[in-house]
Structures are given as C-alpha cells and as structure tokens.
Structure 1
C-alpha cells in the first residue's frame, strides 16, 4: 500500500478516519519504492546464514501451539526491475520449520497474507516459487493468497502467474490442504492443534459472490471447527506511523473495516460464529479491533504489514501463540532474518526492527476457547457422580447439596444438611440475628469436575456481622478428631464480583471452633483469640490460606498462596501426611507450604463451621461466596483420589 501523499486538513472529528473510509483506506500502490529502485542494500548485514534447517514436527496434541503469519513480502520480489532477494523470506521459513518442533513455540501452520510480489511478473513468481520450495521440501503446512500486487481484478480473472505458481496444484501433497473453489484463488486448509482440527480460509484479494458462497459452504461442511479467516484486505488503520498515542487512545480498537472489508463482514463473517479471528495485510501501520458478530461473540480482526519498514519488512513474521490452558493468545512480531545475523554486524536500524514491541505488534488476547466455541462445539458436561462413589475409606464427613431443594431456595435457621458419610457429622443452619431470610441459598452452579451439581451461596460479611452459616452438632464425632495419622480436607469455592477485602476478607470457608489461647497455644505467630483451624480467603490478594494449630507444637502452621479471581470455581485441598501439611489450589501446591513438622489438628471438642469464622469466642464474619462439595478424610490423599479425579 502507499500511504496518502498529502495530509487531510478536515476537522478533527472526522479527519483521518473519515478520509480513509471514503477512499477505501487509500489502496495499496507502487509508489512506496521508486520504479527501478532496489531494496537490497548490499551491506554485510543483508546476508543471513543459511546453514541450518530442522525438521517439520509440530505437536498436534499440545495445548500450546503457534500460528505464524507473514504479511506483504512484495518488495523482495520485483523481478521486472532486477530487484530480488529471497534471503529474508527463506530465513523466516527456516525459523518457522525449526520452531515447529520447539515445545515453546510448536508452530503448526503459516499463513501468508498476499502481495508475494511487487509486480506480478513471471520472473518474480519464479523466485517466489524457489523460496516456497524450502517449505515444501520439509513438508511444512502453509497457505497463501493473492494480493493486489499479485493479480488484477477479482477472483474470476482466470490464469495468472500467481495461479500458475501458487495455485491449488502446489498443495496436492499437503496434508493440510482441504480444497479450493473453481477459480483456484480461494483455498481451505485444516491443521491439527491442541487435539482438534482448525479450519483456515485463504481468500482472494477480491472475492466474488460465488467465492463467498463456496467459503460459506466449506464452513457448513465443517460445523465443529473454529475458523481463522485470512485475506489481503479486511481492516485498515486510520492513523499514521508517527502518531502516538493512538488517536482513540485505545490501540486495541484502532482499526476499521475497509469498504471491501465491510463486504467480507456482511457476506461471510458476521453470520458465521465459527470465525473468531481474521488476519490481513495490505495497509499499514498495523492495527486491530474487535467486533461482535450476529451471535454476540467477539471476532478479533488484525492488520499486520511491515512493508514500509527496513528492507521492505525483511519477511517479518507475526507469531500467534495459542495457550488453551491460560485461555490466551499471545502475539509477538519478530524478524528472523535480522535475529539470525551476528549482533555486531547489525546496523542500528536493523537492530531496532529485530523485534517489534508496540501495542499493536506485541500483545495478548484473553479468550475462553471453550466458551467462545461453545455454540458449535458444545462443551461436554461431566455428569454428576453418586455420593457413594466419593465415600472412600477414611471419609469422616461429606457434605453436598443436591437433594436439598430447587436452585434459589433459601436455607433457614435449623435446616439440616446431612453428612453423607453417615458418621453423624450433620450440619445445621445458624443465622446471625437481623440477617435477611435469603442470606444462604441453594444454587445449581458448580465446579465442572465437582461430583455434586449444586452448591450453597453465602451472602455474609462483617461490619456488622451478618449472614447464615452451618455448624456440626455439639457432640458430633468430627469435633473430637485430632487426625494423628493425617488428613485431607477438600472443598470447592467461587467468589462473587462484589467480594470486598474489608467486608469479606479472612472469612473462613471451613473452620474449627475453640481459640488458640484456650488450647494453651503460644509462641511466634500465635493469636490467642483465633480459631484452632481455618481455611479462608485472605484480605490481601484473595489468597487461599490454611492456618492451623498442630498437636505437636504450640504455635501455628500456615499454608497459603494463589490469588483467586472472582467468578471462577476453584478446588482447594489440604493434605497432611502425619508429618507435613500442603495446600493445593486446583491440584497445584502453593508456594508457602512450610517444611516444619505438623502433626494432626488440636481440638477442644468444639463444632466445625462451614462458612463462618470465630474470633475471641464469637462469630466475627460470615463467608461471602459460593461453596460446593466438601469432604474430610482421616488420611492423606493423592491427586487421583481427589474429588476432581476423572
């Protein structure tokens, strides 16, 4: 593309954005490099090493993988002007191939965004052909598409040097090639990553109605696949390279649909919920935006193009690192050709562009993949498991809430929650005077791996103390148990958005009544008024904490760590093996798990509380949040015996 040669002098309310929208974002052109000019400067730094290429071995099951994206490389291929340099692109190809087998990258596919050449000349495409032979010879998976410098007109144009070189026939041996339309200019590719198939559509610079119909049919033929749409022209950036901060002050939404991009949106994107990401080149500088489709879901739309940078961008690549565990796509932009050069040989400009770190070049996209894809790939719901399956040897108490009533039903004072272990450790609802009647209610919400598909929602707090909680009876066997041979305590918890550190912090999910002072405890970190055992959420960072007084010492052992975000279910497990105590959050041990000897739990024979905390003999705060299945076992368990076990 060629940026406009004159600045807009329209009023600020519509200047750049209005001007570019009215001119189809200025169109890509040939004026960026003068006719006859060479982009090869002949300096020592222009020569990249070519002495290594590994094997194409991506891991199709790993939950972290990378999609490599290569935008406009046109200035490397101007054969009609005797200006050709394959070295930068071939170095990027080597990087892509080498990093397919690297666990930190796991590059599974590369998408080129068009404008492979500057002049569409057969001589240029002959050189492009040789460069892509490197990818073909290693079996690398990739797609290409035609940009406006590769072809003229729309996809009905017929035979061209582009089609002869990069058409469907090139992919006949590719395992990821899924077909093309009748013109050959629109292609489909399916790659495996994270244990599933992903569909990538590579559409022509100007797709006609039959091309869009074909693309819609391909999506319908693969109804469970997430779709990435690539084309040369979809969104553009209505600002100049030298404008910073971005005009809207929001670099995450500083791209707009071009006139043709609006057509692509209307004909293909908006009504296909499977399309979650679109990528295009053509315009510069880079930019991105997010639009909501007809289903109300986000579509991330990105422009990446560096042809106006040093050496025509030097075949720079954008790496989209998908992480299905962290529910994030991390994006970075690098130049492998420059990175492969010895640092001491790089010019200052080259060193500056080895990695691009601006907010539209290096960023992260939070995305809950399961939720985003749920309309076409329903998330399987793990069925509830009978309580008897969870009554493993040593179970002293098991409380769940399936049979207590319909969601939203309040549990009022005196209501009993039975101990399903039948050990006599039933819970009874206790209500702080003046508390609303619906301070403790049943909910159908639950952790996805929780055996019971129900929970209790506590609407408690302090200042003043209010809410309802549950307590074991005065003579319940659990009250006297000191767990000399070890124990495991498990529960599920979710915090609401209105959780407040001052009003709700240090409120216990589960605690044991009886103060440390009354039990004769003293020494470092001892608070004589605190309970003998408490599993709570700290007021500092919403961290899970297990603070307890063991039988072998006079002062407490405290395990804690891991801030717990709201509106997410967490599984907490405390495991003591008779010697050491460890706290686990979602199966991972927290950082603060002391190595001091910690035997059993001191008892004064007082009740256990679910959802309340005692201080100086009185309830000082009631829990605020939702609690699911809770189990206490008189021995240490490993992960395969947790309530979350498959």
Structure 2
C-alpha cells in the first residue's frame, strides 16, 4: 500500500490539483459533485462517552456535527453533496445476549472476557445510543438521498461463541487467544433505520429493500448520470447477495456503488478481523471474498465498494470478470482520540472517539477522464487531513505506522482516475440535466 500512496501523491501533484484548504465545498457545477462517506460512529453514540456518564464531553455531538455538515452542504441547500452513505457501526452496544434465531440454530454464548453488564448496556442503547443516532440522522432527513448499513455493533445480539473457544496456546498479543464473536438480530436496527422508518418510507429515491431494510437500494442523479447505490448488511447471506443482483438487473446500465461494513482491512486485503470472522463461525454469512466472487466481480455495473470496520484507511483496485475497474475504499476513524486528549484525559484513559473525521469523495465528470478526489475532513477541527500539520503525528502510529508522514497524509487526500467510466457507462446526459 505504501507504494500505491506514493503513486497517488505524484498523480495529485502532477494533475495540478491544489491541496484543499478550509471547510468550504464548491458550489455544484455541471459534472462536479460530492458523495459523503460516514465512517463508524459507534464511539460517538456510546452511552459511556457522554457527560451523564462522567465523560468530559458529549461525544454524540460530534456525530450530529457530521450530519449537520452534510445537510448544510447538500445540493438542495446550495452545496455539492448529492448522496451520503454510512458504513455501519452506528451505535456501540448489544441489547441481547444472543438473538432467538441463532439460539434456535444451536449457537451459544460464553462469558465475555473481563465480564460485561448486559442489562446496563441494553439500557444505554435504548435510552442514549439509538436516540442519539436517530437525532443525528434527522439532520439530513428530507435533505438528500442517503443510506445506512448495519455493522457488527448494530445487531441485537453480540456474543463470544461457545463453539469457538479461546486459544490459550496462541502467543501473547494474538487475538485468537480471545476466541470469536458472533452477531445476530436486527430488530432494533430495523426500528431505527429500516425500510418502514420515517427516513425511507415512500421516498422515491429509496427503490428497494430486503430483510426489513437491512439491505437497501437508492438512486440519485449527478453529473449527467443516474447512479445506483446498494447497501448490504454485515457479512450478507446468499439471499442478500441474490437480492442485490436482482436490484442491479432491474436498473441496467447505472453506475453502481456498494456499501457494506466489512470488506477490506487497512492493508487493503479482503480479510476478516481475527475476532469477528463471521464466515468462519457460520457458513450462512459471506466474508468479503465471498461478496466479491458472488456479487461484485460478476456484475459489471459495480465500480466502487465502500466499507469501514477496520481502523484506518485503505484503497485498492481490481478488475471484475469483464475487465472493468472496481475501486475499493476503507474509511474508519473510530479509534482517533485526540479530542479526548484535548479534553484532558490521560493517554492511557483516552478512548477512541473519531475526532469528527469523515470522507468526502468529489467526482469531476467534466474531463475526458472522470476523476474522484478522496479527502478526509474533520467537522470538529474544521480541517482537511492535508491542512492539519499534526495529522500524521496524531494518527499514523495507530493506523499505518509503516508509512512515511507524506504517504499517510496522501492516503487521506488522493485522486482516483476513472479510466474506463465513459466506456462502461456512456457520455452522460446533457449538461446540467442531472445536477439536482
């Protein structure tokens, strides 16, 4: 990945594109628009990260700030953001020890390492975490099309699976010593962000859903093109993937983006977290490679995949079975804790928060070769990554310690050339017809 970021840095400079400064987004122009990517927000919503729980500030305010920023810069309000997609892990804690469906299939929870007070967690989810999440998304309700997918922390049940015990023969520091976590149940999720909620019911851009809205599809128009977005739940089943393919076939020829919680890790590999390898636990669940093989590689409309889950950032490109490029991006800043340090917490007591960082992907369809400029922006610090002198010092050691400072900054400010976009999706509509 380090070599890749060096190439991206050179491409950025060679293209004559100035590094971003300030928070202002350009006004919508023909062929230029932005998609906002909302990384894991679980640490903002966490009920233990609020003043009422003794934390020095209400972390949920940072989630609200992110959504308000998107609303303020939406096309409908004079900005250039046409769509927003959240990669999952909206809130933090479970509400059940195990969901009924998995219990009926023979799965069993074992005591969590270190213990956990499920009753307290469930109360925190119901009274703080879910209400805070809904209140944040109220900021963009009716303002622009958007998608929210579920991450492992959003499921009703999240448990250490008895059938996958701790491996105490593994060396110290090896996460296999902990065993494996399984998840299940989306009742709370679908009540908050399902197809029947106020956010999506009867919205003309919300074109399809599956499993109550855990999988969903949206359309939006920008730059002379109509786009399709498909959001998939964590480790989607074969049924979810077949549904997604049906939706794609019902919208032939549309440039298609996929968002799912777990796809690539911070090294750019399609590799599950060693403690949350759902496919290893349960053949019902597909891992990232399964999603690639069964859906993405075989459907040439899909040109981009967005994900979170793994702390850090990554980018890779692969050809699908027809030879078309598929750009895959990881965006997850949940472990960043500078705001906790700023509030006076000691380094060993400052939890990951997120520091307001999100991803802004600005498409420019005006040239012969369309491009996407990908930047990290903090709504808390009101700075892009490339504008913050301390950026690499603050975040590189925990995310990409092997990178140089320049490569690390470039990993959050780079340009993707969509070399085959026109060949795959045509010239687009007449100027200005879809910038709305």
What's the TM-score once normalised by structure 2's chain length? 0.62
Correspondence 1:70 to 2:70: no
2:136 aligns with: 131
Counterpart secondary structure, 1:258: coil
Does the 8 A contact of 2:356 with 2:381 survive in 1? no
Aligned mates of 1:286, 1:347 — CA distance in 2: 19
Aligned mates of 1:167, 1:142 — CA distance in 2: 13
Aligned mates of 1:207, 1:200 — CA distance in 2: 16
Counterpart secondary structure, 2:34: strand
Does the 8 A contact of 2:373 with 2:414 survive in 1? yes
Counterpart secondary structure, 1:168: coil
Per-residue displacement from partner, 1:220-273 (whole Å, max 9, x unpaired)? Answer: 0001110011000011123xxxxxxxxxxxxxxxx1112511011011100111
1:265 aligns with: 292
Matches within 5 A, 1:134-533: 134-136=139-141, 138-151=142-155, 152=157, 157-170=184-197, 171-238=200-267, 255-259=268-272, 260-310=287-337, 311=339, 312-326=353-367, 327-339=370-382, 358-368=409-419, 371-372=420-421, 374-375=423-424, 377-378=425-426
Counterpart secondary structure, 1:149: helix
1:328/1:283 Cα in 2 relative to 1: closer, same or farther (>3 Å)? same
Aligned mates of 1:261, 1:267 — CA distance in 2: 10
Per-residue displacement from partner, 1:369-405 (whole Å, max 9, x unpaired)? Answer: xx43534x4559xxxxxxxxxxxxxxxxxxxxxxxxx
| Equivalent residues, number | 297
Aligned mates of 2:191, 2:76 — CA distance in 1: 34
What's the TM-score once normalised by structure 1's chain length? 0.42
Aligned mates of 1:268, 1:156 — CA distance in 2: 23
CA shift at 1:349, angstroms? 8.1
Aligned mates of 2:92, 2:214 — CA distance in 1: 18
Between structures 1 and 2, the one with greater helix share: 2
Aligned mates of 2:269, 2:82 — CA distance in 1: 29
CA shift at 1:274, angstroms? 0.6
Structure 1 spans left out of the alignment, 5+ residues: 1-56, 239-254, 341-345, 381-646
Q: Which has the higher contact order (CA 8 A, sep 6+)?
A: 2
Counterpart secondary structure, 2:67: helix
Matches within 5 A, 1:101-120: 101=75, 106-120=80-94
Aligned mates of 2:32, 2:211 — CA distance in 1: 35
CA shift at 1:160, angstroms? 2.2
1:468 aligns with: none
- Aligned-CA RMSD value: 3.3
Counterpart secondary structure, 2:423: coil
Structure 2 spans left out of the alignment, 5+ residues: 1-25, 95-124, 159-180, 273-286, 340-352, 396-405, 429-436
